[in-house]
Structure 1
């Protein structure tokens, strides 16, 4: 029997289908914002660097409010009288007292304390150096610049040395052999070795104050040239000026519509020219209010009542005397107490005896009224002993002791 062998049929080859390009259609850009031109877009704020050197330049040397606040606090702290105590008795003659009265040949006590307090406010750190023979009490005290000082921490995290850099030179102060340097620093919640400057907290306000000042200066320089554009629509619809027309327009704007002399001068446009404002008016920007608010924030960070600076819109205190008294009570005296306590402990280690520096509140003119009332109340209290009365008045337990 013959078997029929069936072979599968070969698959038919498909013919290539020609690709036909779609007919071109008119394409339209349908963006709803394409017709809008932004001459000025608001983005993220750009802040300057906030290291101690930059803050000192921008917040003190370049800002009148910061300069005045730091100067007021430092000068007020340096003007308060100080007395040196030992075991409850005021000293009239002591090497440490002579050293404080004349810390170095270039500075007296007021200049020395003013520099120490000013550095503490500007950078959050203040460094004092005791200069003298090894193993002997110091003969001079100097205030060192914080931007040149670097803390060298030891294995336990505490500073084992301080490194002072000047012009490529490095001077190392070893803290394990003694205390040649006193480091005064403000509280910093996120740093173990360096303090937080009040200018750090006021850095944003300082930049706003400076920006408002630049705005005001630019407004005076270009008062009659508002921020905007001159649009030209020619008769042929080209919207382009010829070179001669363009040069003449620019020269006319510079000659007749720029500078304080031309402030408020009307602009005459001809030949298809039209003015399109693109910026904010000074009223919209409210730069003066922004500047005043920034100034109050700077004063607040440095602990100075704005009333003492003559800033408008601040009536927190009933009168100038009350504001001045609050300035001393809330800012100057607490800061001075912290500084003098640290200096007294430092001098105690250097001279090998327990010493105290106490502020003489009777020397503060701003506190004269309340000090007089306190003296009357304490003097009339017959149930108090003389020692108790002296302590309430901030006086030593006994008189001067050489």
Structure 2
């Protein structure tokens, strides 16, 4: 039901798709402090090329992000061979729970086919939503936004029922005296032939026998219903954290404010990448230490985003194209590295 809501579907798919587009690589740090991509490491191949044999890296990251948004948690099995990670296989949603017994953690897997298996933490990659009530499990939108999603569903059902079986007449023709059968039949035929359809929109009606047109005006209840639909769309945007314009929620003035805030968004998104990649979630799950090159890669994204933000603000100098600004940002980074 939740994914049938257009705003909720748009916002969650935008979040999941954005995560799928973010790079995720494994780096190796040499004793002298230099870093390079560990292309010969099996985990690099898993993350960059083939996570599990049936998903691309983008699909894997998008699925894990979507499950974390909806349920608060996403789990994947860490498949090893001779101590090396060979694959990350996602578990079905709702089949894995995280438990704590004293100072130890374990994962309880209950597949749809039945049976229960307990897994060690090193055999499970747990991708969690940032908000948690117990410190173990994330809080999903299907839980916190249940009332909003349910109310939006009821509003959609009410609108569908109104369009399917409700009276949608725009007005009435009122006569002081009863019309004859011939006059009624002629009036009905004229209404269908001369005044119905898009081609006859705006035509003036010729009334006879004292007929008077009485157009129907929208009631306060109709206005409240429209406002309710708009409010539910905004509520969905608030719960997901996606601003109304990207979620295709239109309100007066929001588009202009979104364009004004675009440079800020360009700066904040790469900073979030720095935060997430710096945590080394996958590396921790497979027994690897956090690597500094991940943060360096994200910092380069920050520099490129700031260059694009300067372009939006109209402060570019010299080569004012987006490519030129990014090229200058890359050169500046190379000079600082040297």
Q: 277, 286, 296: which is aligned to 2:234?
A: 296
Are 1:122 and 2:70 counterparts? yes
2:115 corresponding residue in structure 1: 169
Write out per-residue CA displacement over residues 115-142 of structure 1, whole angstroms, 9 at most, x where no aligned residue. Answer: 1111111111111221123x51111111
Within a 5 Å distance, the mapping from 1:78-157 to structure 2 comes to 78-87=20-29, 88-91=34-37, 93=39, 94-100=41-47, 101-133=49-81, 136-156=83-103
Q: Which has the larger radius of gyration?
A: 1
SS of the residue corresponding to residue 166 of structure 1 reads coil
Q: CA deviation at 1:112?
A: 0.8
Q: In 1, Cα distance between the equivalents of 2:156 and 2:66?
A: 25
Greater RCO, CA 8 A, separation 6+: 1
Q: In 2, Cα distance between the equivalents of 1:356 and 1:348?
A: 18
Q: 2:72–2:141: 8 Å Cα contact kept in structure 1?
A: yes
SS of the residue corresponding to residue 150 of structure 2 reads helix
Q: 180, 205, 219: which is aligned to 2:123?
A: 180
Write out per-residue CA displacement over residues 42-78 of structure 1, whole angstroms, 9 at most, x where no aligned residue. Answer: xxxxxxxxxxxxxxxx322x21211111111111121
2:314 corresponding residue in structure 1: none
Sort the Cα spacing of 1:329 and 1:126 in 2 relative to 1 into closer, same or farther, 3 A.
farther
Sort the Cα spacing of 1:110 and 1:306 in 2 relative to 1 into closer, same or farther, 3 A.
same
Q: In 2, Cα distance between the equivalents of 1:336 and 1:146?
A: 28
Are 1:75 and 2:22 counterparts? no
Sort the Cα spacing of 1:334 and 1:312 in 2 relative to 1 into closer, same or farther, 3 A.
same
Q: 1:81–1:363: 8 Å Cα contact kept in structure 2?
A: no
For normalisation by structure 2, the TM-score amounts to: 0.66
SS of the residue corresponding to residue 138 of structure 1 reads strand
Aligned length: 269
1:243 corresponding residue in structure 2: none
Q: In 2, Cα distance between the equivalents of 1:301 and 1:151?
A: 25
Q: Which runs of 5+ in 2 are unaligned?
A: 170-217, 311-321
1:309 corresponding residue in structure 2: 247
Q: In 1, Cα distance between the equivalents of 2:42 and 2:292?
A: 12
For normalisation by structure 1, the TM-score amounts to: 0.56
Within a 5 Å distance, the mapping from 1:2-401 to structure 2 comes to 58-60=1-3, 62-87=4-29, 88-91=34-37, 93=39, 94-100=41-47, 101-133=49-81, 136-156=83-103, 158-175=104-121, 179-188=122-131, 190-224=133-167, 283-284=221-222, 286-313=224-251, 315-316=253-254, 318=256, 329-330=267-268, 334=272, 337-338=275-276, 341-346=279-284, 349=287, 357-358=294-295, 362=301, 369-370=308-309, 373=325, 376=328, 386=335, 389-390=336-337
SS of the residue corresponding to residue 151 of structure 2 reads helix
Q: In 1, Cα distance between the equivalents of 2:125 and 2:157?
A: 40
Q: 1:199–1:302: 8 Å Cα contact kept in structure 2?
A: no
Q: In 1, Cα distance between the equivalents of 2:92 and 2:253?
A: 37
SS of the residue corresponding to residue 150 of structure 1 reads strand
Q: 1:307–1:320: 8 Å Cα contact kept in structure 2?
A: yes
Sort the Cα spacing of 1:140 and 1:167 in 2 relative to 1 into closer, same or farther, 3 A.
same
Q: CA deviation at 1:325?
A: 5.7
Q: 2:270–2:301: 8 Å Cα contact kept in structure 1?
A: no
Q: CA deviation at 1:369?
A: 1.2
Q: In 2, Cα distance between the equivalents of 1:367 and 1:341?
A: 23
SS of the residue corresponding to residue 26 of structure 2 reads strand
Q: In 1, Cα distance between the equivalents of 2:73 and 2:155?
A: 30
